[in-house]
Amino acid sequence: MAKLYFRHGTVGSAKTLNLLAVAHNYRQQGKKIILMKPDLDTRFGKERIKSRAGLEMDADALISDETSLRGIDYSGISCILVDEVQFMSAKVIEELRRIALDYDIPVLCYGLRTDFKSRLFEGSQRLLELADSIEEVKATCHYCNRKSIMNLKHVNGLATNEGPSVELGCEEKYYPTCYKCYRRELDKARIARMQTTTCGCKH
């Protein structure tokens, strides 16, 4: 039976590069695949899936909360690859689970586990509950050599854990960090903001 895979990692862990390499290998062998991505991810263009290393491909299907995956033709498909899966709804994840089962097609999902507030994304939570295989794509902390497990957001050069959970951005906004550096940077930013508020100047 084909499996549902969840391959998660922090920002900068080469998840999309991994996905595109798998897609390239399938296509090099003459096999048909379907590349999916959430329609809200427009950072590189609506249909474009692009890694930070520069490798890119066009998505075959753009998925929203209202998309029915049952309307897609899966004949002759060898694999389904899903980028930025954390932005998918629980309903979409459940459909991917059924597709792997009913059509006997492996479904490989890549994405973040948690947001910059350290909370699980909806899609990631459902995958942790339903996936046959859960793998971590590892990366090192932006500030030290420990393994990164957090996604640290920056606004105007200062770390923050405020704002909406879904806020698109690349390496200029989000850093991969270990938990120790994550807390340290948030504490430093909090102190800097307090000083700015108190004396009206920037430190």
List residues with catalytic annotation.
Answer: 84
Going by the DSSP 8-state scheme, the letter that residue 60 receives in this structure is S
Contacts of 67 (CB under 8 A, 6+ apart): 39, 61, 92
CA dihedral defined by 104, 105, 111, 115, rounded to 10 degrees? -30
The DSSP bridge partners found for residue 7 are 110, 135
DSSP, residue by residue, 101-156: HHH---EEEEE-SB-TTS-B-HHHHHHHHH-SEEEE---B-SSSSSBP-EEEEEET
